[in-house]
């Protein structure tokens, strides 16, 4: 048996991904990429991640407007605020003060290797966001102490499984992350409410 070669494995995964997504013939695409092309691809992948997060954020805003009975004007203003905010800015992904004070973070972390557990860095990131939702961020405009707090997740099976494991193994998630069903009243200020949503369609 040949020894494992990390570079060959990574290249093969990338080549398979490109061929499958774009319906291309099977070939070694990575070998034809120079450093500049690889860096451009890295930037493009970051943009894809930001776009997915934006779509999930818009879906959460729609969910929030329905569950908290926001009128169409409030919903539209919240959508516009979400669209107009730059990616990777400081503060919370969603925040609103009126008619109901809300802060929220949106997570699109997918467990590595299609598994049912988050990586250590993913777990640490979620734990940190839970703490920030409970205690606030230094540069954030909103003080979450008197806000309803939410964490929205992409609704796929792997993430649901990983969240079950996370709640079992993380003290702060076990104590402070409470997943909502479709009818449960939302009133607690001492916990972060977990929500699952599917990406929204592009806004016209």
Give 23-42 pLDDT, tens digit per residue.
Answer: 989 889 888 888 898 888 88
Give 136-184 pLDDT, tens digit per residue.
Answer: 887 767 788 889 999 999 999 999 999 999 999 999 999 999 998 777 7
For domain 57-197, the CATH class is alpha beta
Domain boundaries, the chain: 57-197
* Residues 166, 43: Cα–Cα separation, whole Å: 30
Q: Is the C-alpha dihedral spanning 168, 170, 176, 180 positive or negative? A: negative
DSSP string, the chain: -PPP-HHHHHHHHHHHHHHHHTTPPS---GGG--HHHHHHHHHHHHHHHHHHHHHHHHHHHHHHHHHTT--HHHHHHHHHHHHHSPTT-SS-SEEE-SSS-EEEEEE----GGG-SS--HHHHHHHHHHHHHHHH--TT-S--GGGSEEEEEEE--HHHHHHHHHHHHH-HHHHHHEEE--SS-----SSSEEEEEEPPPPPP-
Prediction pTM value: 0.84
Edge-to-edge strand list for the sheet holding 94-96: 94-96, 102-107, 148-154, 192-197, 177-179
Average pLDDT value for residue range 84-113: 83
Residue 32 confidence (pLDDT):
86
């Amino acid at each position: 048996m040949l020894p494992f070669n990390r570079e060959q494995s990574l290249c093969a995964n990338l080549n398979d991904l490109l061929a499958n997504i774009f319906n291309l013939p099977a070939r070694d695409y990575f070998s034809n990429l120079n450093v500049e092309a690889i860096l451009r691809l890295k930037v493009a992948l970051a943009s894809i991640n930001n776009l997915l997060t934006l779509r999930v954020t818009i879906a959460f805003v729609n969910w929030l407007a329905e569950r908290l009975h926001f009128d169409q004007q409030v919903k539209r203003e919240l959508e516009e605020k979400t669209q107009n905010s730059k990616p990777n800015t400081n503060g919370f992904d969603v925040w609103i003060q009126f008619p109901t004070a809300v802060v929220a973070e949106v997570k699109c972390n997918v467990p590595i290797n299609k598994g049912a557990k988050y990586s250590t860095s993913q777990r640490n990131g979620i734990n940190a966001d839970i703490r920030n939702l409970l205690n606030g961020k230094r540069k954030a405009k909103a003080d979450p102490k008197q806000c309803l707090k939410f964490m929205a997740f992409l609704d796929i099976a792997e993430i649901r499984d990983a969240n079950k494991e996370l709640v079992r193994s993380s003290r702060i998630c076990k104590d402070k992350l409470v997943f909502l069903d479709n009818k449960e009243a939302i009133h607690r200020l001492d916990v972060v409410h977990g929500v699952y949503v599917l990406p929204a369609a592009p806004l016209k």
